[in-house]
Amino acid sequence: MNTLPARLFLQLALTLTLGISPTAVTQSLQIPANTGYSEPDPGGIRISGNRGVGRWNDASQSLNWFGNFKQPGLVSAVLDFTSAPDSDFRFQLNFAGKSIQKTLKAGEQQLDFGDFEIKSPGYQRLLLKWISSASDIAPSPQQWTLSGPAIDNAHFNLEPRRNAASVHLAYPIPEGKEVEAFYVEMTGLEDPIWTYYMACGWHRGYFGMQVNSPSERRIIFSVWDSGNEAIDRDKVAQENRVTLIAKGDGVYSGDFGNEGTGGHSHWKYQWKTGERQKFLVTAKPVDETYTIYSGYYFHPEQLRWKLISSWKAPKEGGYMRGLYSFSENFVGANGQLVRKARFGRQWIRTPEGEKIEITEARFSHDPTGRRNRLDRFMGVEEGEFFLSHGGFSSNSTPYRAKFSRPSSSIPEALKMEWDPLAPNEKTLTP
């Protein structure tokens, strides 16, 4: 008597018991290998948008892909390689709570790991390990092909950009009010390298803190030039350039480009994860055509405000508008990691000295968050807004969703006078 192969028998059983359409069994999903991540070292395996996966010469490194499965069911996993190896390679795939080892034979370019069962909706990791071989460098994976009922409406990032989506908070300014000073408190709760938590953003610049490496962190304050040059500051006419007026001790200043152009400053300081940081930006119009923007950071150990820098911005002459905060993963090699920060006590001061609290914010994200990376969300936690992105969490906040937080007390910094032309560092007990 003829019998069904085990894979087809299980697929048929799932169809009958879970109500999955038999047509879903024939569907397939191709996942480019260069959308994955190297762990534990994000640079341990070369992963390039142009050149694909290569230089896998360390068996302690694994390749990892993440996808959101919308329904339970079977899924088969087949991995294609860019070329056939000269010797056998043993690989292990951990997926959906199951671990399978298979051997890629010399001269072959495809490895079928067989079937896995997705038991419930949610994100799953495909973790590929190189177990053994006679060679010291593994062949380069090219793409996964997943097929079976469980891939119906499954979501993977299929683009080579591996960054987590950038996420933003937009703050409303009361109608008719001008902003002379903008104050925000911010707490970084996760600290992967290549993270920029930005507290005080406005139409001409941004101010926040960054994780550059395991041993280096920075406080960054930058102001954009006038004009429309996006890449090269050498192309910006002198009348459109912001100019440095003053900077604090130990602060580096220079140019920036590739995201608009302007004046950049940073201070290397090991700000602490989980510790509240305080940021203040002031705007002082010089005349109808120039405004001086200054960024002050509250030194949490010395209990004093430190000037980062002051910049004279041309073709301005007004105050701040377009207030916002954001969180960014600026290198995609570790875009699978969670980034999260809280943002609280948003206050502004008008030129007349009126102090106004901002307790509402709208959520937004960059184009990556529109379709490729949906693991981005905001909310209110411990009375403050928070932004979270990365980690392949099922949490996701709709674009332009609005949140409110409880009221807070007036910051002492807004009760002080700030003169960018004589930027003395100010001591203040918090």
Query: Number of folded domains in the chain?
Result: 2
Q: Has residue 5 got a pLDDT over 60?
A: no
244 and 104 co-located in one domain: no
329 and 209 co-located in one domain: yes
192 and 118 co-located in one domain: no
Spell out the SS3 assignment of 243-301.
EEEEECCCCEEEEECCCCCEEEEEEECCCCCCCCEEEEEEEEECCCCEEEEEEEEEECC
Q: How far is CA 403 from the centre of its chain?
A: 21
Mean pLDDT across 96-121: 97
- Identify the pLDDT of residue 420: 63
Mean pLDDT across 377-396: 97
- Encode pLDDT of 202-230 as tens digits: 999 999 999 999 999 999 999 999 988 88
384 and 406 co-located in one domain: yes
CA distance 269 to 218: 5
254 and 336 co-located in one domain: yes
- Is there a domain that residue 36 lies in? yes
Residue of 425 and 278 predicted with greater confidence: 278
Any idea what DSSP says for residue 17?
H
138 and 208 co-located in one domain: no
Give me the domain span that covers residue 143.
6-153
240 and 358 co-located in one domain: yes
187 and 143 co-located in one domain: no
In sequence order, the 6+-apart residues with CB closer than 8 A to the CB of 53 are 33, 34, 36, 45, 46, 47, 63, 82, 140, 141, 142
Q: Has residue 26 got a pLDDT over 60?
A: no
**Among 181-185, 225-229, 347-351, whose mean pLDDT is lowest?**
225-229
140 and 222 co-located in one domain: no
- Identify the pLDDT of residue 404: 98
- Identify the pLDDT of residue 421: 57
- Is there a domain that residue 1 lies in? no
130 and 266 co-located in one domain: no
The DSSP line for 334-386 is GTTS-EEEEEEEEEEE-TT--EEEE-EEEEEE-THHHHT---EEEEEETTEEE
In sequence order, the 6+-apart residues with CB closer than 8 A to the CB of 134 are 87, 88
Q: Name the pTM for this structure.
A: 0.89
